[in-house]
């Protein structure tokens, strides 16, 4: 492993830009992601910066079960994010639809059918401690040796 690659690994695991997208949820998981930003479960101390711009993001947090309006736009936004990228599904909604996966619902879970998901955090909503441990355990692995894997 070359020195350049190890420098890139070190930098990419310590500074992650996150953008979140809400494709039709109840806002519970959204609020728990905001609680992660709060001073108590401070996520910025690990170098993770949450803004809302897909063009500058490394990690996309997907929240919610897919509503009819988002079916085409979700793929568009995923294409806009520059590689290397990863998507993490937060909550039960993107995994299985939570309580909305019944007859008569307008949503079409799971989100896996639309964009590739790297990790899942189950819960309705997952506690900020659970979101933090999931992101921290996945962060150093997803971008490791990205250039060497490409070739």
Partner 1 sequence: MKKTVDVSIPLGPMHPCWKEPVRLKCETAGERVLHTEVELGYMKKGIERIMRGRPWQEVMFLAERVCGICSVVHNMVFIEAMELISDIAVPPRAACLRVVANELDRIASHLIANFSYCYTIEHETLAMYLLNTRETVLDNLERLTGSRINTAYMIPGGVRFDLLPEDAATMLADLAKVEEELKRYVRIFETGPLIGLRSRGIGYMSREDAIRAHTVGPTARASGVEDCDLRLRHPTYRALGFEQVTRTEGDNFARVMLRFQEVFQSIDLIRKCVDTLPAGHIRGGGLCRAGEVSYSGEAPRGELTYTIKTDDFGRVLDIAIRTPSIMNIEACAHYMVVNATSIADVTSTFISSDPCIACNER
Partner 2 sequence: MRSIVYYVREFLRPEWLKKFFFVKTAPLVTPPYFKGYPTLTGKDCTGCFTCMMICPAPDAIAVLRRKEQWEPEVYPGHCIRCGLCVEACPEGVLASGRVTDLARRDATAFWHSFHLEVDESLCMRCGNCCVSCPINRQIDPQLAGTGTSTSDEVIMRVSSGRVRILHEEKCTGCKTCETQCPSGAIRVARMVEGVQFLDGVES
Residues that bind partner 2 (CB under 8 A): 40-42, 45, 92, 95-99, 101-103, 120, 122-124, 127, 129-130, 132-133
List the single partner that 90 binds among partner 1, partner 2, none, CB under 5 to 8 Å by kind. none
Span near partner 1 by CB under 8 A; candidates 1-9, 52-60, 112-120, 141-149: 52-60
Question: Which of 17, 46, 54, 130 forms a contact with partner 1 (CB under 8 A)?
Answer: 54
Q: Does the footprint of partner 1 cover residue 77 (CB under 8 A)? A: yes
3-state secondary structure the chain: CCHHHHHHHHHHHHCEEEEEEECCCCCHHHHHHHHHHCCCCCCHHHCEEEECCHHHCCEEEEECCCCCCHHHHHHHHHHHCCCCCEEEEECCHHHHCHHHCCCCCCCCCCHHHCCCCCEEECCCCCCHHHHHHHHHHHHHHHCCCHHHHHC
Count Cβ atoms below 10 Å from residue 93 Cβ, excluding itself.
Answer: 30
Span near partner 1 by CB under 8 A; candidates 8-16, 64-72, 110-118, 143-151: 64-72
> Cβ of residue 81: shortest distance to partner 2, in angstroms?
25
- For partner 1, the binding residues (CB under 8 A) are 21-32, 34-35, 37-40, 51-54, 64-65, 67-70, 73, 77, 98-100, 102-107, 124-125, 127
């Amino acid at each position: 492993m070359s020195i350049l690659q190890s420098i890139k690994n070190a930098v990419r695991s310590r500074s992650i830009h996150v953008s979140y997208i809400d494709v039709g949820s109840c806002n519970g998981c959204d609020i728990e992601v905001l609680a992660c930003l709060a001073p108590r479960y401070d996520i910025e101390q690990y170098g993770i910066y949450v803004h809302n711009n897909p063009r500058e993001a490394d990690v996309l947090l997907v929240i919610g079960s897919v509503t009819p309006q988002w079916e085409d736009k979700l793929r568009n936004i995923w294409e806009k994010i520059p590689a290397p990228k990863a998507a993490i599904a937060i909550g039960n909604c993107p995994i299985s639809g939570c309580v909305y996966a019944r007859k008569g619902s307008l949503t079409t879970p799971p989100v896996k059918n639309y964009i590739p998901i790297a990790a899942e955090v189950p819960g309705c909503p997952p506690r900020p401690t659970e979101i933090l441990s999931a992101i921290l355990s996945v962060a150093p692995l997803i971008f490791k040796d990205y250039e060497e894997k490409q070739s």
